[in-house]
Structure 1
Amino acid sequence: MKIKNLTERDQNILHALYRFRTFTTPQIYRLFFSNNKTRDYCWQRMSYLKRDGYIMAKPVVKNGKRDTHSYFLTAKGMETLKSKGIVDKTAFAKDLQLSGYRMIYANLVNEIYVQLKPYGFEMWDSRQVKNIYELDRNSLIQGCLVAPDQREYGIYLLTADPEEKTVAKVISEIKKNFNIKYYMVLCSTPDAFTNFERVLKYEETRIRSSVSLLPYDDALIVLKTIGTEEQRVALYQKYGAVRNVEKGAFPYTVVHNGEVKYVCENLHNSTGVRRRLSLYTSHEFKREGRKVLLLIRKGFMQELQEEFKHYPHFEYKIILKSDLLDQIESREYPQI
């Protein structure tokens, strides 16, 4: 028996496939069926939409075995969206379909949105970002993550061991597109992180935007725990009474061990934070008289201490990954 009428959820699924090109079965479940205890109804509804020609599916293979399916919009699905006024631009479903590595890559990018949506984040797909900021259609940018406090992060994802020309192109785009104030480069492998970090350090002084470089999983953890200014202040409050400073080297001070200090976090591994730290020289410290309490992940601490070895007025406090994970588990978020 065919579907008589598409539900609002069916239409939302089709629209999501239009915007983000593809989602896997587990991703569809978390986005649209999380109120159901099992995936059975999700699988059944997607099979109906596939049977009736609104979507198509391709197998996702891992380690030589089919792991799940990845769904795409069909011509019928596209025409349905147009007829209901959900999309008005001319597009062809075949242009949205992906295969092989490009499909796996898209699923990895879309997982960012799937995981962060319950935490109040939205995400613009790459086409929307390029349109809003008038970027070249061949830009490598993968989208724009919009935090609950409306801060926008241009997103790049690097997998495996990226070619030198790929790293150079990403850096060039970030340097050129400074209307995006914040970027986040997520790396799915250690090689990707190391290779991009080396080039970023060389080009850092030529980049006007703030660039955060993090391993893929770490970036998601950080965004879930301190993805907003309110969460950042809550973190600072664990170390003493916090006060906002209108005119100062840093936006906040904290009363720590009986002393008023500036407080700053760099869990994002941000070039913008390092730039601000570098400006607070010993001369500035003598003028203002406030030390800096810097909250940092253990893996970045040694390198940061070396970079600021001539800044004895900096104090460091390690934030453990386990503490951030505990913080995530202790919170309750509404279902999507």
Structure 2
Amino acid sequence: MRGIPVIPIENGSATKNLTERDIQVLHDLYQYQMLNIKQIRELHFPGSEKYVYKRLFQLKREGYVKSRPLVEKGKKVGAGYFITEKGLRILEVQGLSNKERRARDNKPSGIRLSSVIERNELYTQLLPYKWSFVNGRDFKKTNGINRGALLSGLFIRQDGKQFVLYILENNTRDQTFLKLQREIKLLSDRNILILCKGPVIYEKLWEAEDMHAKELSIIPFPSAIPIMRWYCTNDILYQELQRFGVVSTEQNRFHFGDMVVQGEATKYYVANCLMGDKMTLHYLKRYSYDVYQRTGIKVLLLHWAVGEFQFPFDRYPHVQSVPFYLEELPTR
């Protein structure tokens, strides 16, 4: 990582020993509020565990960052780093910050520390696969959404597809669940991605009948990173589906897919549940056997081979199960 020239700051003095990588670290701390050492190392110091400790110590000693302990179940599990006002002034000189947001506003509160670190773990793990992320604060401001909204941000796949992100605890309260339903109603023209931190909230979301969006993807939190690493572009599906025939894009009039496959003797609609899209199954269930007999077009239903997935295949003989296996995903 090349160094950068000495940078003047507002009072006319100069920064000392700051590199381009230091500026990038400060910018990420500003953008994502708080990162732990593991996340900073993966983003900026890959393969250099000792040096990341040394560099963070120097940035902290010079007053550009601060840290606070991260605690789980009463035990310290590490430290989270956040930017200071001095560090923020460096970003202002570089044109990398919004002057309306000061360091005191950027620091997450104690009750939000674990959720911020958790959200940023998704960001750091998915960045190498060309997913990008807009944090919740900036997304809310840009779209005129209340600051108290539950959403965590916006993920953007490398092919441009966007997902508004929610992360829900297993013991989500009824009041919070009702608030979620109201928010999704306001965002019904967008793709929604909800990551569930337990089976109770996962099942509750699938059972809820009054939640609708353009896509409503519901995934167990532990499965999110491997699924999203693999499914980082729709080109993946074109490759996978070629074993059934010629693949093309075509929005079907039954609203459960935008891909078709023309086999040697059979044409298929593609119903894609690989991102846990509840809306796909909602509309697919309207494509009854009687409707199929009129169209003559069968369905390939793409889904993960896990116990949570349920579909009444016995009542839909025209729908062919196409299971995918998490443990068989290629490491790239």
TM over 0.5: yes
2-structure distance, mates of 1:256, 1:241: 4
RMSD over aligned Cα, in angstroms? 2.3
Give the gaps of 5 or more residues in structure 2: 1-13
- In the alignment of these two chains, the number of paired residues is 316
Give 1:240's aligned residue: 244
2-structure distance, mates of 1:30, 1:130: 27
More helix by share: 1
Give 2:23's aligned residue: 11
Alignment of 1:1-336 (within 5 A): 4-34=16-46, 37-179=47-189, 181-198=190-207, 201-204=208-211, 207-237=212-242, 239-246=243-250, 248-249=252-253, 250-254=257-261, 259-299=266-306, 303-305=310-312, 309-324=314-329, 327=330, 329=331, 331=332
* Contact map agreement 1:185 1:214 (CA 8 A) in 2: yes
Q: Pick which of 280-289 and 170-179 moved more.
A: 280-289
1-structure distance, mates of 2:157, 2:80: 27
Q: 2:270 is paired with a residue of what secondary structure?
A: strand
Q: Report the CA distance shift for 1:258/1:217 in structure 2 as closer, same or farther (over 3 A).
A: farther
Q: Report the CA distance shift for 1:108/1:302 in structure 2 as closer, same or farther (over 3 A).
A: closer
Choose between structure 1 and 2 for higher RCO, CA contacts under 8 A separated by at least 6 residues.
1
Give 1:334's aligned residue: none
1-structure distance, mates of 2:230, 2:251: 27
2-structure distance, mates of 1:70, 1:82: 23
How far the C-alpha of 1:38 sits from its partner, in A, is 3.0
What amino acid is aligned across from residue 246 of structure 1 in structure 2? E
What amino acid is aligned across from residue 282 of structure 2 in structure 1? R
Q: Pick which of 24-33 and 215-224 moved more.
A: 215-224
2-structure distance, mates of 1:16, 1:226: 25
How far the C-alpha of 1:245 sits from its partner, in A, is 4.9
* Contact map agreement 1:295 1:318 (CA 8 A) in 2: yes
What amino acid is aligned across from residue 268 of structure 2 in structure 1? K
Q: Pick which of 58-67 and 79-88 moved more.
A: 58-67
What's the TM-score once normalised by structure 1's chain length?
Answer: 0.86
* Contact map agreement 2:288 2:316 (CA 8 A) in 1: yes
Q: Report the CA distance shift for 1:278/1:160 in structure 2 as closer, same or farther (over 3 A).
A: closer
How far the C-alpha of 1:3 sits from its partner, in A, is 6.6
What amino acid is aligned across from residue 116 of structure 2 in structure 1? A
Q: Report the CA distance shift for 1:25/1:61 in structure 2 as closer, same or farther (over 3 A).
A: same
How far the C-alpha of 1:267 sits from its partner, in A, is 1.8
1-structure distance, mates of 2:241, 2:54: 47
Q: 1:244 is paired with a residue of what secondary structure?
A: strand
Percent identity of equivalent pairs: 28
Give the gaps of 5 or more residues in structure 1: 332-336
